[in-house]
Amino acid sequence: MEIVIVPDAAAGGELIATAIADLLTGKPDALLGVATGSTPLPIYRALEAKVQAGTLDVSRARVCQLDEYVGLPDGHPESYREVLLREVLQPLGIPGERFIGPDGAAEDIAAAAIAYDRQLAEAGGVDLQLLGIGTDGHIGFNEPCSSLASRTRIKTLTEQTRVDNARFFDSLDEVPHHVLTQGIGTILEARHLVLLATGAAKAEAVAQTVEGPLSALVPASALQLHPHATVVVDEAAATHLK
């Protein structure tokens, strides 16, 4: 695992955007796995700046989703599909036809989960998967005690994660209880994992991910199993590293 400590979130965003630009130079139709939440936004803004400056060509890039709420109606502004259209696809000018994600509004959620894993495999697998990390060490929405071999499936959010995400909704009651998330086994199939963690609230989770034992209690520690995992942390998130 490669650990990179950067001064702040903007520097982390720039560094990772540059890595994505390098990937797309060598493989213009690379499949880029994207995450939601606050942490990756500096990456998306840095990518947008590169596209506007003409230094990044995304004309063949493909994008896939890490996770999705279950039960939000199609087009709900806080569904992760809508968030990613707003924050990534539209600013970069990537059309919806080159974007895949799990169907959280499906009637048969178990079948939708299996279908998404199949879709990822048929797309040739994820070239670079962006990840954030929860204060409890979750990646995607694989909460503590998730199987390290898990596939895309429905998961129940912990109360802490619902509270953390309530800032995106009008009230805690509106935050869904369930999600469809790529499993840890699914995530580990990406060719390169890039986790960004910023802010002091993530410091303990980062230390356990990087220096703690491999444990389902800290799902992000599964990155220790991956041959090409990069963890980018700002100084605040690095404070608990030895």
* 204 has catalytic annotation: no
According to DSSP, the residues that pair with 230 across neighbouring strands are: 2, 194
Nearer to ligand F6R, 35 or 113 (CB): 35
Based on the shown chain and the rule CB under 6 A, indicate whether residue 138 belongs to the binding site for ligand F6R: yes
Q: Are 211 and 203 in contact (CB under 8 A)?
A: no
* 170 has catalytic annotation: no
Q: Are 196 and 132 in contact (CB under 8 A)?
A: yes
* Interacting residues of 111 by C-beta distance below 8 A, sequence separation 6+: none
Cβ of residue 140: shortest distance to ligand F6R, in angstroms? 5
Cβ of residue 74: shortest distance to ligand F6R, in angstroms? 18
Nearer to ligand F6R, 34 or 58 (CB): 34
Q: How far is CA 17 from the centre of its chain?
A: 14
Nearest to 61 by CA among 101, 91, 103, 21: 21
Nearer to ligand F6R, 4 or 27 (CB): 4
Radius of gyration of the chain (CA): 17
Q: Which of 35, 175, 203, 232 binds ligand F6R (CB under 6 A)?
A: 35
Q: How far is CA 148 from the centre of its chain?
A: 17
Grouping H, G, I as helix, E, B as strand and the rest as coil, residue 157 is coil
- The interface region with ligand F6R, picked from 14-22, 35-43, 52-60, 108-116 by CB under 6 A, is 35-43
Q: How far is CA 213 from the centre of its chain?
A: 22
Based on the shown chain and the rule CB under 6 A, indicate whether residue 229 belongs to the binding site for ligand F6R: no
> How far is Cα 197 from Cα 231, in angstroms, rounded to an integer?
8
Positions 46 through 105 that interact with ligand F6R (CB under 6 A): 66-67
Q: Which of 42, 102, 134, 176 binds ligand F6R (CB under 6 A)?
A: 134
Based on the shown chain and the rule CB under 6 A, indicate whether residue 137 belongs to the binding site for ligand F6R: no
Nearer to ligand F6R, 29 or 63 (CB): 63
* 143 has catalytic annotation: yes
Q: Are 93 and 58 in contact (CB under 8 A)?
A: yes
- The interface region with ligand F6R, picked from 29-37, 46-54, 110-118, 186-194 by CB under 6 A, is 29-37
Q: Are 43 and 17 in contact (CB under 8 A)?
A: yes
Cβ of residue 55: shortest distance to ligand F6R, in angstroms? 26
Kindly list the residues in this chain that would bind ligand F6R in the complex (CB under 6 A): 35-39, 66-67, 132-134, 138-141
Residues taking part in catalysis: 67, 136, 138, 143
